[in-house]
Amino acid sequence: MMKLVLAAALALGANAGCDSLNCFDGAGLEAKYDEGVERAAVVNGEHFAQGKAAGLALTHTDGERDGERDGYDAGFSAGYHGAEGYAAGYADAYDDGATEGSFDPNACAAGGADGYAAGSSDGYGDAYSDGHADGYSSGYAAGGSDGAAACDAPWLAFLNPDCFLPPDALVRLRALAQAAGGALVGADLVDADGRRDPAARRRDPDFAAMLRDVRRARLAIAPDPAQALQPVPAISGALMLLPRAAFARLGAFDPGYRLHVEDLDLCRRARLAGIQVACANDVQVVHLRGVSSRGRRLFVEWHKHRGLWRYFRRFEAGVRPRWQRAAVALAIWLHFPLALLRRG
């Protein structure tokens, strides 16, 4: 039916003596049409000239700035709302969308300083929300454990929000941990100036030894450049990676630690369970130490010293005489106000 109507219209035009579809009556209607065509051509020409002038005025710096902004916006939006999760989107934004899979898709980044979960590359939603909410109410250890429980990835990575990972960091850590039979591993942490974080490789605290010699309070172990994966008693909780099965076997973090010392506790329990603890000396990660707890001096120091006392009672108090237990308690809580003054 459509074809018949169109054919009839063309036939009527031909009978009227028209030689094209632009066929009016040669009077006012046709004149208005022609006037509109001419005016549109003039306006389009002006707009083209303006656009061309604006384009020629742009510099390489303008393009780079706009490209970075567009890349950030697109990457952030895709990461926040998309299936890859916040962590992947965040990395993509800073790399102009070029670092797809900055976080190993098999690693679940759960937990973070002061109860912030770093989110999971397997899904931003439940793991982040549960860890974040529980972290504020119950602390880092509880938040990290709940964040891990909210995802089902076979590997877990606990990450402070003030850590900045190279794109392949988690993939490399996982490969080293697998080669070591499912170890609990950390990275070579450095600050913004490249100075090594002494917490990346540590001895167990020995509180009775500290009473005899205060220098024993220094727990740092020097890196061994000959070892890509250096076994140590303890690593930093700023970045820890281990198999989910090992984390479950250890019973997760002890929620009795609200802030600090939960990493020392987990490492010691891991070794007692036959799980190797080691630092990946070839995987360097920037850790802006203390940023996540800045401005809360009393809160941080209170829970740090409370954590030290809990650790002592769990691992050492049972083999120390009563007078040493009392002396350690006195030393820890006398150190608390001194630490406040030093940080102030």
Q: pLDDT value at position 168? A: 94
Please say whether the beta carbons of 202 and 220 come within 8 A.
yes
Cα Rg of the chain, angstroms: 32
For residues 149 and 143, give the distance between their C-alpha atoms in angstroms, rounded to a whole number: 10
Query: Which runs of E-coded beta strand occur in 162-270?
Result: 163-164, 184-190, 229-231, 239-243
Are the C-beta atoms of 229 and 278 separated by less than 8 Å? yes
> How far apart (Å, rounded) are the C-alpha atoms in residues 20 and 258?
84
Contact call for residues 220 and 230 (beta carbons, < 8 A):
no
Q: Which helix (H) or strand (E) holds 77?
A: helix 60-81
Per-residue pLDDT tens over the stretch 163-203: 999 999 999 999 999 999 999 999 999 999 999 999 999 99
In this predicted structure, the answer to whether residue 135 has a pLDDT above a threshold of 60 is no
Residues contacting 63, CB < 8 A, separation 6+: none
**Distances from the Cα of 80 to the Cαs of 19, 124, 129, 153, 328, in angstroms?**
60, 8, 13, 19, 47
Average pLDDT, the chain: 77
Return the pLDDT at 303: 85
pLDDT at 238: 94
The encoded tokens of residue 147 equal 């964040």
Over residues 69-113, the pLDDT tens digits come to 666 565 555 555 454 444 444 444 444 443 333 344 344 443 333
Given this model, what pLDDT does residue 10 score?
A: 36
Q: What is the pLDDT of residue 45?
A: 84
Which two three-digit tokens encode residue 73?
């916006």
Confidence of residue 57 (pLDDT cuts 50, 70, 90): confident
Residue matched to tokens 């952030």: 76
How far apart (Å, rounded) are the C-alpha atoms in residues 120 and 105? 9
Q: How much of the chain, in percent, has pLDDT values that exceed 70? A: 67
Nearest residue to 238 (alpha-carbon basis) of 201, 194, 205:
201
pTM of this structure: 0.60
- Would you state the structure tokens that stand for residue 300, as one six-digit string? 């941080």
- Closest Cα partner for 128 from 137, 118, 136? 118
Give the whole-angstrom CA distance, residue 64 versus residue 213: 57
